[in-house]
């Protein structure tokens, strides 16, 4: 139960950060919530990351589904608070132009691969156990990808963030497949690379 | 006594940073003063944080009152130095427009909840003992909240900062209730969430 | 093999960061890839750094050559992805003006000296073993040098980054000698200074 | 001898960073050189910091004088390289206006107090031994003070930086007393506060 609460709070602040502060707001909120919640839930705040941690073997499928529900609930509440209490909504335009779908899909795939690759190595590997840098590294990856390739897809790298931004009207529902397909496949590839590179670390 | 001196020095630089450098100045000053003073006083520099640490059970009520007095004294001295020695005063306008009171109150509540939630988890929890990231995480929360929702309330998340900015004329006295009510209630809720999520950590 | 894959992935993201995000993009990508890959390969992502680590005595010449091939392969793939998938190419102008060759050579020498000096001290020295700051320190050096003297040479401090930016047409092939000569000599000097200052650390 | 070389290299890059990259360039260069050299010399790169460490009792007076000479030599070489190789000189105007002397003196006093107070607590105190944050905390203080009160004095907080910027013509010789008097008195006060607050830590 405390894991579910932690994932809910962290994803709430991540999505509020993304909706009101863009890549920098999202990265800052993610960093601090990772440091606050890592010792309780692992601080995923991202269904794609939870998928990667499940493939890597550090999360049961039941816990993964619980995390997903908690993450989506946090994202939805954040979108409601941002839109209805703070009164900030997007322009209802889709984030990706009609001729930019492939670029967007690849950008989400590449960005989420980087994110899950970093998470698995800094937060679940034996070789980096006990470090103090995991929050900076993980949030730094979101900021790096938002800076470098964010313009091609809006820079979610996280299906829960995508859902939140759809509700808050910065993204549009018809493009949700980009974030589902791109993020989940990128995270899955990262998990397979991790298993290949760390066969003894189970 | 050395705790009182440490809280005084840290809050002095935090309020000077806020008055002369905005959210970035405040966050940088807070980070370095947390790392400098954490081993002596816990480095609260914020009456709302001291309240949360008292509710969480890591500060006596007598120490909390001593911290509060020291924090307010540091904030007042900083405001006097900024206004009278460096000659920088605000425009005497209130930070919050007349029709933005509710947003401001919620913003201070949400921001201070995040701040106290992070402080309790990174600086008082058994699960994160001995880490090197607490200053980055705590100051990063102030920067995140200032970036994301700072415009709704001026972004204090700290009654001592609010008092300092009132004396230095960036905030106005008639709106002090926003910072007292918003910050203390947000910090208290964070302390209750921490106790609920960490029942074995006393 | 897992070291080669790690160097390939890290250099890929470093060059993508440099090509699409400049000094900040490169530094962020480097930081996160250092934290993700340091426990596997040492996270060089830079032929000049691998040279310095070889001179310092912590890498065999065979491993150095394997690292070099992997780094160049990652850089080339990144350039192809940036130019052909994301459609971002430089203007085919050389980064260094005709009368700025000497400044550029010295800038790459000084910048790569700083980079290798920091790497050897924070990631290979006994006196700093087990620290959590190595990624911030190394990537911070790239950002510092890009900020301070980047304008004189384009700020590569890394022959693999230079090759990538030549393919992606931000740098030009006729100036590659600046990056080969400047970076390798700066890295070699740093390794000799390290050996002189740490005679007992082998 | 290796301590002298380390102080020389670190101060060289610090002054080059200040002359070519302002407060951000100086802070970044300082951070990376602290992490690179801290395990060898303590990484002062600042005569005022060396004075504070001497008063605090962690440096002999002979070593302090050796550090000072090395720091000034590094600063002078950096100024020569910046002015004569990279061709960047200041406008020969004094950094402080004629009616701003008192503000400048207080700003250097306050800023160097903060810097030495942070250095002594994060890099010489028993209560923070073994941490990974000292470089971020110390360089963060320089950046905080440059951001918050840098405009009043040019933001040196370091007599060696002041000498370098005088040679490179960003500061002027007639105002050197501001940096000597302000920095040394601020550092000395920080050392006395440290001794008062940490009587058992010798």
ipTM confidence score = 0.96
In a domain, C202, yes or no: no
In a domain, D202, yes or no: no
Q: Which residues of A touch D128 (CB under 8 A)?
A: none
In a domain, A202, yes or no: no
Per-residue pLDDT tens digits of chain B, which is 202 residues long: 899 999 999 999 999 999 999 999 999 999 999 999 999 999 999 999 999 999 999 999 999 999 999 999 999 999 999 999 999 999 888 999 999 999 999 999 999 999 999 999 999 999 999 999 999 999 999 999 999 999 999 999 999 999 999 999 999 999 999 999 999 999 999 999 999 999 888 8
Q: Which of residues 103-162 of A touch C (CB under 8 A)?
A: 103, 106-107, 110, 114, 117-118, 121-122, 125, 127-128, 131-134, 136-138, 140-141, 143-144, 147-149, 152
Q: Which of residues 14-53 of A touch C (CB under 8 A)?
A: none
CA distance B3 to C81: 56
Q: Which residues of D touch C109 (CB under 8 A)?
A: none
In a domain, B158, yes or no: yes
In a domain, D13, yes or no: yes
Candidates A116, A110, A123, A114; CA nearest to A201 is A123
- Interchain CB distance below 8 Å, A107 and C87: no
Q: Which residues of D touch B32 (CB under 8 A)?
A: 114, 118, 137-138, 140-141, 144
- Interchain CB distance below 8 Å, D36 and C122: yes
pLDDT of residue D93: 87
pLDDT, tens only, A126-144: 999 999 999 999 999 999 9
3-state DSSP of chain B:
CHHHHHHHHHHHHHHHHHHHHHHHHHHHHHHHHHHHHHHHHCCCCCHHHHHHHHHHCCCCHHHHHHHHHHHHHHHHHHHHHHHHHCCCCCCCCCCCCHHHHHHHHHHHHHHHHHHHHHHHHHHCCHHHCCCCCHHHHHHHHHHHHHHHHHHHHCCCCCHHHHHHHHHCCCCCHHHHHHHHHHHHHHHHHHHHHHHHHCCCCC
CB D142 within 8 A of CB D30: yes
- Interchain CB distance below 8 Å, A36 and B122: yes
Burial per residue of D118-152, b for 16 or more beta-carbon CB atoms within 10 angstroms, e otherwise: bbbbbbbbeebeebbbbbbbbbbbbbbbbbbbbbb
Q: Could you tell me the CATH number of the domain that includes residue A33?
A: 1.20.1080.10
In a domain, B202, yes or no: no
Instruction: Look at the block and give the residue holding tokens 């607490």.
Output: B134
CA distance C66 to A23: 36
pLDDT above 90 for A93:
no
In a domain, B91, yes or no: yes
| Residue span of the structural domain in which A171 resides | 2-197
pLDDT above 90 for C93:
no
Q: What is the band of C103 on the pLDDT scale with cuts at 50, 70, 90? A: very high
**Based on the structure, what is the number of domains in chain C?**
1
Instruction: Look at the block and give the residue holding tokens 């005063």.
Output: B89
In a domain, B30, yes or no: yes
């Amino acid at each position: 139960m405390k894991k579910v609460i932690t994932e809910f709070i962290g994803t709430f602040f991540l999505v509020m950060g993304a909706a009101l502060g863009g890549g920098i707001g999202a990265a800052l909120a993610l960093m601090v919530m990772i440091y606050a919640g890592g010792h309780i839930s692992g601080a995923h705040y991202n269904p794609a990351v939870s998928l990667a941690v499940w493939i890597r073997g550090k999360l049961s499928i039941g816990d993964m589904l619980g995390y997903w529900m908690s993450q989506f609930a946090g994202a939805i509440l954040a979108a409601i608070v941002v839109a209805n209490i703070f009164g900030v909504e997007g322009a209802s335009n889709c984030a990706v132009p009609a001729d930019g779908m492939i670029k967007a899909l690849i950008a989400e795939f590449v960005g989420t691969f980087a994110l899950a690759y970093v998470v698995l190595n800094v937060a679940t590997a034996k070789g980096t156990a006990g470090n103090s840098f995991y929050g900076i590294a993980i949030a730094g990856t979101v900021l790096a990808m938002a800076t470098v390739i964010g313009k091609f897809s809006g820079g979610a790298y996280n299906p829960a963030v995508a859902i939140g931004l759809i509700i808050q009207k910065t993204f549009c529902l018809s493009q949700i497949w980009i974030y589902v397909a791109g993020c989940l496949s990128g995270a899955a590839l990262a998990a397979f690379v991790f298993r290949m590179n760390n066969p003894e670390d189970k």
